[in-house]
Copies of this chain bind each other. A is one copy, B any other.
């Protein structure tokens, strides 16, 4: 073992300590008046109830998953000679244990983060009365608890499992990374259900609340008379906070493990004398956490100009500027960390890989800009959708779908450029697996470095993301507790900033998922190569081979089918919600006059039950299909399935995320009065154009918050499943 393994261990422990210090700091903040606390309590209880039931279901599924995978590997995988004498049973228990640890850590970080988020919201609402700066700080630090816990626990888990499995042997160091893939599989297993269930929950509530509240009854957002309002506020937490947390937990874990597998290849190729190649990813992510911590504390809450009632937009821009400072500080220190880690660990050609890592960091910046272009009201795409709203909902939808499909182009080109450039730089380092010809080990490792570079800012990005639901909730609490106008200005401004940061995180998530996926199936191929009988030639995934082509076609189809199920789940759950809200309002007219509180719990219950019921089938389908493909059609077909499924997944996730985001902001653009009729009169709320905008926003909801983010997870899950079960596929289909 290399002494630098202390870096990820120390970094994650520091991050966890900081997270707990932040919790103490937040709990010391004033939690607001009784009215605020009452709303916050309702949100807290709703979130608790859902998460308890959700993680119970996920836990059951995970235990079944761990047992099935373990049994399959133990009984059927034969002897995996390439792992240095370890028995099938040895592979099996290590995989299952890693799976359960991964699943457990993921669930733990999600639960703690959520608990803090739902405690931060009323404190942000209260801090808002003391000014923008205070509220910004409380919101960001509340989000940072999730952000740092998630990334630190993920890193700590992978590092510890790696250290322990290395220590107990009997396999050699370079065969250890493959044994901890189970950790990534467990994490993605939990992430899939957490993101999908959370996504269904949040959008069923949101769509239901909006369609009756805003469209039929002309209520404002977060009106306490709306029976679905608490469910909506709970949804922000379980979808954006817990769901995205699990997503990035899993990204970090899977990318670390995939990169370590590729590192093991380089280690072996270069004569097994520098473990640095294997632990480089862990060190880089550790330094990324430190960079993110510096970025976090670079965000200051003082010296902000306080906004007047007429300058929400300015206030938002100022607050966003402060958050951006933190991001750029993080990126700058990430570059330093990447260069340092490469220099210390990667031998005399380190600078090639440092350069590739910087390409990854630049890719993350590119994704942030591209996402803003497609989802902000400042540029053509959102304006085009708003303009199309003038001729009604149909043209709004057509324009939105056109933007959604179009927005695949720039991100794909960015991914291709990053991958191509990193690969090219890596080939210059001249590290070749002897005799295999086609694939340059150095080139592939450089793409891994780029992926790690992109991932370095994950903790900060995730803090900004969790900032979103906290400020969104704070806005709701302020609205429902009848706080004065100047407080609303602050929370409205932060809420709009939160929307931007949520969109950015999704862009970041898909960009890193795309790189991660390439890395993971490179790792899968590496495993196949090692077990390939045709020594001296490269293992190839030949799309011209009919079974491979058929598997590829099914892989892409699975993505479409999954998207369909996710969208439909929201549609159905929302219809149930709409009927309940209508029923309550009809049954008791005093709800509308505000004399009687509606039955919030009934709506929370509908969301909870629909989400739990409808997350199982699509989730299980995504886990089982790659296994069937691998068993029936073989490991090469599984690779084709994986790659083409991944490509389709990247594209659909982009369509869903940014299309949905553009619809959302087109509506906001109209509400802000920027869309004008031929006489220059703004077409605000109440006009037909605005109603068309609301339709588009509603359609975009399941796109951007259910199907899209779940697809990030699906992409990586496909890779981890195939990677874990590769020995099985090879056993049944020996080359």
| Interface of A toward B, CB cutoff 8 Å | 207, 211, 215, 388, 391-395, 397-399, 401-406, 408-409, 412-413, 415-416, 419-420, 423, 438-439, 443-444, 447, 518, 521-522, 525, 538-547, 549-550, 552-554, 556-557, 560-561, 563-565, 567-568, 570-571, 574-575, 578, 639-640, 643-644, 647-648, 650-651, 655, 694-695, 698-699, 702
- Tell whether A416 pairs with B542 under 8 Å between CB atoms, given A402-B567, A560-B408, A564-B405: no
Q: How many Å from the CB of A153 to the closest CB on chain B?
A: 32
Q: How many Å from the CB of A460 to the closest CB on chain B?
A: 28
Residues in B with CB closer than 8 Å to A702 are: 398
- Whether the pair B540, A571 counts as a contact (CB closer than 8 A) is no
- Tell whether A543 pairs with B211 under 8 Å between CB atoms, given A403-B564, A557-B412, A647-B556: no
- Tell whether A557 pairs with B644 under 8 Å between CB atoms, given A391-B575, A546-B443, A639-B544: no
- Whether the pair A415, B553 counts as a contact (CB closer than 8 A) is yes
Q: How many Å from the CB of A651 to the closest CB on chain B?
A: 6
Residues in B with CB closer than 8 Å to A402 are: 564-565, 567-568, 571
- Tell whether A392 pairs with B695 under 8 Å between CB atoms, given A416-B553, A438-B545, A540-B540: yes
Query: Of B397, B416, B553, B554, which is within 8 A of A550 by CB?
Result: B416
Give Cα A587–Cα B518 distance, bound, in whole angstroms.
60
Query: Of B406, B545, B655, which is within 8 A of A568 by CB?
Result: B406
Give Cα A659–Cα B543 distance, bound, in whole angstroms.
29
Give Cα A405–Cα B649 distance, bound, in whole angstroms.
13
- Tell whether A552 pairs with B644 under 8 Å between CB atoms, given A211-B395, A402-B564, A563-B405: yes
Query: Of B540, B541, B546, which is within 8 A of A423 by CB?
Result: B546
Query: Of B444, B557, B568, which is within 8 A of A409 by CB?
Result: B557
- Whether the pair B541, A388 counts as a contact (CB closer than 8 A) is no
* Chain B residue nearest in CB terms to A409: B561
Residues in B with CB closer than 8 Å to A650 are: 553
Give Cα A408–Cα B560 distance, bound, in whole angstroms.
7
- Whether the pair B699, A398 counts as a contact (CB closer than 8 A) is yes
* Chain B residue nearest in CB terms to A552: B647
- Tell whether A518 pairs with B549 under 8 Å between CB atoms, given A393-B695, A543-B541: yes
Give Cα A655–Cα B651 distance, bound, in whole angstroms.
15
Q: List 16 A-B contacts (CB under 8 A).
A: A211-B391, A401-B699, A404-B564, A405-B564, A408-B557, A412-B553, A412-B557, A415-B553, A416-B550, A419-B549, A438-B542, A443-B546, A522-B544, A549-B643, A644-B644, A648-B648
Give Cα A655–Cα B401 distance, bound, in whole angstroms.
13
Give Cα A414–Cα B643 distance, bound, in whole angstroms.
22
* Chain B residue nearest in CB terms to A555: B647
The 10 A-B pairs with the shortest beta carbon distances in the complex, nearest first, are A405-B564, A394-B698, A402-B568, A540-B542, A406-B564, A412-B557, A398-B571, A408-B560, A423-B546, A416-B550
* Chain B residue nearest in CB terms to A208: B391
In the complex, besides A393-B394, A540-B544, 18 extra interface pairs with C-beta distance below 8 angstroms are A211-B391, A388-B571, A393-B695, A395-B571, A398-B568, A398-B570, A409-B557, A412-B554, A415-B553, A419-B549, A438-B545, A439-B545, A539-B544, A540-B540, A540-B545, A543-B643, A549-B643, A556-B651
Q: Choose among A393, A413, A639, A640 the residue with the greatest number of B CB atoms under 10 Å from its CB.
A: A393
Query: Of B207, B557, B565, B640, which is within 8 A of A543 by CB?
Result: B640
Q: Choose among A207, A388, A444, A541 the residue with the greatest number of B CB atoms under 10 Å from its CB.
A: A541
* Chain B residue nearest in CB terms to A568: B402
- Tell whether A419 pairs with B647 under 8 Å between CB atoms, given A406-B561, A540-B540, A568-B399: no
* Chain B residue nearest in CB terms to A582: B391
Give Cα A403–Cα B572 distance, bound, in whole angstroms.
13
* Chain B residue nearest in CB terms to A416: B550
Residues in B with CB closer than 8 Å to A564 are: 401-406
- Whether the pair A643, B552 counts as a contact (CB closer than 8 A) is yes
Q: How many Å from the CB of A1 to the closest CB on chain B?
A: 31
Give Cα A402–Cα B703 distance, bound, in whole angstroms.
11
* Chain B residue nearest in CB terms to A394: B698
* Chain B residue nearest in CB terms to A539: B544
- Whether the pair A395, B575 counts as a contact (CB closer than 8 A) is yes
Query: Of B391, B394, B438, which is within 8 A of A699 by CB?
Result: B394
Give Cα A640–Cα B648 distance, bound, in whole angstroms.
14
Residues in B with CB closer than 8 Å to A556 are: 647-648, 651
* Chain B residue nearest in CB terms to A212: B391
Residues in B with CB closer than 8 Å to A443 are: 546
- Whether the pair A575, B388 counts as a contact (CB closer than 8 A) is yes
- Tell whether A544 pairs with B439 under 8 Å between CB atoms, given A391-B575, A408-B560, A560-B405: yes
Give Cα A397–Cα B700 distance, bound, in whole angstroms.
10
Give Cα A702–Cα B560 distance, bound, in whole angstroms.
20
- Tell whether A567 pairs with B401 under 8 Å between CB atoms, given A540-B542, A639-B544: yes
- Whether the pair A405, B544 counts as a contact (CB closer than 8 A) is no
Give Cα A381–Cα B659 distance, bound, in whole angstroms.
24
Residues in B with CB closer than 8 Å to A561 are: 405-406, 408-409
Residues in B with CB closer than 8 Å to A554 are: 412-413, 416
Q: How many Å from the CB of A470 to the closest CB on chain B?
A: 27
